[in-house]
């Protein structure tokens, strides 16, 4: 603690030196926000404070004052602000995606960014094509290697840009689709063996696999599926014939004590029980939750995907890496402008990314403005039907 206290004292002195003309109240507020130690007194300071209190009590008694019972007040717990210590002592500070780094710089550690602008930078997370494409999807890897004439793309992904001019090549399309179908067959076998649900490989595989969490919005996804099911039930046979069949796959883990996550999983499985056993819908729509999610399951699910859901509330996902894994396996993304989705969209082009939801600067004003999802859903007929039927 002596070392940390010394760092804190020297840092406070440097802040005062950096802002010589700042008003005293403003400077004190800034220091209180940025300093490392909070509510802390070292043993010498604590002993001095206790001695002063005892001396004051003795003086009052000597002066003839009636003894007053000391009021017991719980002192705030002393704390070491580890994040502040890291900002002060660290060489560099970064987020793990462009939008995340911007939030870190302009909001989370705004005062530190003003004091140490040279420390703040971005380091977007990444995944290895060696594992998530070459190993996990040898079918597609073979197609890519044959098309560009080398497998060096595994360590030099810039070589994948050679696929761009071939985007409309029918021969490449045929091989690409065949590779995807082979992976979908493997995925369908996995779904059957783990859930007992038989799915058609002619359907579009729509997959959301990630930690089960409210901000990742699996709940919103399953509510969308309920709406799709309600719409299908209201269609005529001729209208249903125009619908693209879809297999909706969920997977993921959560803390054992996270009750809301358990409720979401229970809802997904309950909805699946209804939809999967509706003979009127048949293979037009299937919903499955794949149990015991792990990397090995992901290596089967991701190569089979054709659409993946990355719909966290903008500004809540630090980066995300499954979006990268899905994208490199020839899967389209429906996503918010959150985490690495922002950079993926910039890379693949707006026309190849299904944008969903409001952007990060709009989130807090929406919350402050009293936008309540429950009210929005209840007041809209489709939303009301989802919640009450």
For residue range 254-309, list pLDDT tens digits in order.
999 999 999 999 999 999 999 999 999 999 999 999 999 999 999 999 999 999 99
pLDDT at position 230 is 94
Instruction: Please calculate the CA angle 218-225-326 and round it to the nearest 5 degrees.
Output: 55
pLDDT in tens, 8-57: 999 999 999 999 999 999 999 999 999 999 988 767 766 777 777 777 77
Q: Which residue from 389, 309, 293 is spatially nearest to 353, judged by alpha carbons? A: 309
The residue ranges of every structural domain in the chain are: 2-51+76-122, 129-388
Rounded Cα gap, residues 182 and 122, in angstroms: 38
Q: Which residue from 374, 378, 319, 326 is spatially nearest to 352, judged by alpha carbons? A: 326
Cβ-contact 151, 145 below 8 angstroms:
yes
pLDDT: which is higher, 364 or 150: 150
pLDDT at position 77 is 84
Torsion of CA 169, 172, 177, 182, to 10 degrees: 180
Nearest-Å Rg of the Cα atoms of the chain is 29
Read off the pLDDT band of 74 (50, 70, 90): low
- Strands 93-95 and 120-122, by their bridges, are parallel
The overall average pLDDT reported for the chain is: 92
pLDDT at position 92 is 97
pLDDT in tens, 342-384: 999 999 999 999 999 988 889 888 888 877 777 777 777 777 7
Cβ-contact 171, 270 below 8 angstroms:
no
* End-to-end CA gap in the chain: 60
pLDDT at position 54 is 76
Question: Would you say the pTM of this structure is higher than 0.75?
Answer: yes
User: Residues near 365 by Cβ (< 8 Å), separated by ≥ 6?
Assistant: none
Rounded Cα gap, residues 138 and 178, in angstroms: 12
Read off the pLDDT band of 68 (50, 70, 90): low
* % of the chain beyond a pLDDT of 70: 95
pLDDT at position 62 is 77
Rounded Cα gap, residues 54 and 256, in angstroms: 50
* % of the chain beyond a pLDDT of 90: 79
**Overall CATH class of domain 129-388:** alpha beta
Q: Which residue from 31, 18, 22 is spatially nearest to 81, judged by alpha carbons? A: 31
């Amino acid at each position: 603690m002596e070392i940390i206290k010394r760092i804190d004292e020297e840092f406070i002195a440097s802040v005062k030196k950096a802002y010589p003309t700042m008003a005293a109240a403003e400077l004190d507020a800034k220091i209180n926000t940025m300093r490392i130690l909070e509510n802390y007194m070292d043993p010498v300071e604590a002993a001095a404070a206790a001695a002063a209190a005892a001396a004051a009590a003795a003086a009052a008694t000597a002066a003839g004052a009636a003894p007053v019972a000391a009021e017991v007040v719980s002192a705030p717990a002393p704390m070491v602000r580890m994040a502040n210590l890291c900002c002060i002592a660290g060489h560099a500070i970064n987020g793990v995606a462009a939008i995340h780094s911007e939030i870190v710089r302009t909001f989370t550690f705004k005062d530190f960014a003003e004091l140490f602008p040279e420390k703040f930078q971005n380091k977007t997370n990444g995944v290895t094509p060696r594992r998530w494409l070459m190993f996990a999807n040898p079918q597609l890897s073979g197609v890519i290697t044959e098309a560009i004439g080398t497998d060096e793309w595994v360590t030099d992904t810039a070589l994948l840009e050679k696929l761009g001019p071939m985007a409309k090549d029918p021969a490449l399309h045929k091989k690409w689709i065949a590779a995807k179908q082979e992976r979908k067959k493997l995925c369908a076998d996995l779904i059957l063996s783990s859930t007992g649900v038989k799915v058609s490989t002619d359907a579009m595989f729509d997959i959301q696999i990630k930690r089960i969490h409210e901000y990742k919005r699996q709940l919103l996804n399953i509510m969308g599926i309920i709406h799709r099911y309600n719409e299908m039930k209201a269609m005529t046979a001729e209208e249903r014939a125009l619908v693209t069949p879809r297999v909706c796959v969920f997977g993921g883990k959560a803390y054992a004590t996270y009750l809301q996550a358990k409720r979401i999983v229970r809802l997904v499985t309950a909805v699946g029980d209804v939809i999967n056993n509706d003979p009127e819908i048949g293979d037009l729509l299937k919903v499955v939750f794949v149990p015991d999610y792990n990397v090995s399951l992901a290596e089967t699910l991701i190569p089979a995907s054709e659409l993946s859901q990355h719909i966290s509330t903008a500004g809540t996902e630090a980066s995300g890496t499954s979006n990268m894994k899905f994208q490199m396996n020839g899967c389209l993304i429906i996503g918010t402008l959150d985490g690495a989705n922002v950079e993926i969209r910039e890379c693949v082009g707006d026309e190849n990314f299904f944008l969903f939801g409001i952007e990060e600067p709009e989130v807090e004003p929406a919350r402050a403005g009293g936008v309540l999802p429950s009210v929005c859903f209840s007041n809209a007929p489709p939303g009301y039907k989802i919640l009450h039927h």
